[in-house]
Amino acid sequence: ISSIKTCNTKRSTEPRLENIVSTVNLACELDLRKITLQAKNAEYNPKRFAAVIMRIRNPKTTALIFSSGKIVCTGAKSETDSRTAAMKYAKTIKKLGFNVKFKEFTIQNMVASCGVEFGINLDELLLSYNRFSTYDPEIFPGLIFRMEDPKIVFLIFSSGKIILTGAKQRDQIFKAYHKIYPMLTIFKANRMINI
């Protein structure tokens, strides 16, 4: 499901997961300085940020490790990889002598991207759906569309590129995309050619 698949229209693509943010509770206090001194791929600068930043290559992810025992894991491209990465970080910390448990693993956010093979008239989209939309091209080039059910935020660009964020489950991404796609076809941009 996470691979690109052709939609009903031959030129659009299904959303592809780009990043999953998850959290886990190790249920113990952590000495961040000890972790930094003894673990590979760990950095800690308490004046800049109150967490150890640790990275692994497989799956390619980054973790923010807090003294409370909470970990935020980012960068995974699937739910399985996110859990696997969180378990690897927990195992690394356990090997350093901490009495860790693996509790409350939760997917907090999924980010996906896709595209439609037509430009989108963002000004017209804003006029028709201003209750759900924010668009100020001087501040940000994309229209921000907040769907209520499922509760997903879209970043929609005039090029047809779309970013979806806010999902906690994969099916929310696909449900939201299939709900918004017919609407986007109404706002196809008419390309003007200047001579």
Predicted pLDDT of residue 4: 32
Per-10-residue mean pLDDT, the chain, length 195: 37 86 98 94 94 96 98 97 98 96 97 95 96 96 96 97 97 96 91 46
Predicted pLDDT of residue 12: 61
166: which 2 tokens?
């806010």
Predicted pLDDT of residue 191: 54
Predicted pLDDT of residue 189: 84
- 103-114 confidence digits (pLDDT tens): 999 999 999 999
Q: Which domains does the chain have, with CATH numbers?
A: 21-108 (3.30.310.10), 116-186 (3.30.310.10)
On whether the CB atoms of residues 187 and 124 are closer than 8 A, the answer is yes
Three-state SS annotation for the chain: CCCCCECCCCCCECCEEEEEEEEEECCCCCCHHHHHHHCCCEECCCCCCCEEEEEEECCEEEEEEECCCEEEEEEECCHHHHHHHHHHHHHHHHHCCCCCCCEEEEEEEEEEEEECCCCECHHHHHHHCCCCEECCCCCCCCEEEEECCCCEEEEECCCCEEEEEEECCHHHHHHHHHHHHHHHHHCECCCCCCC
Predicted pLDDT of residue 190: 73
Q: Amino acid identity of 167?
A: A
Predicted pLDDT of residue 10: 42
Q: Amino acid identity of 173?
A: I
Predicted pLDDT of residue 34: 96
Predicted pLDDT of residue 9: 41
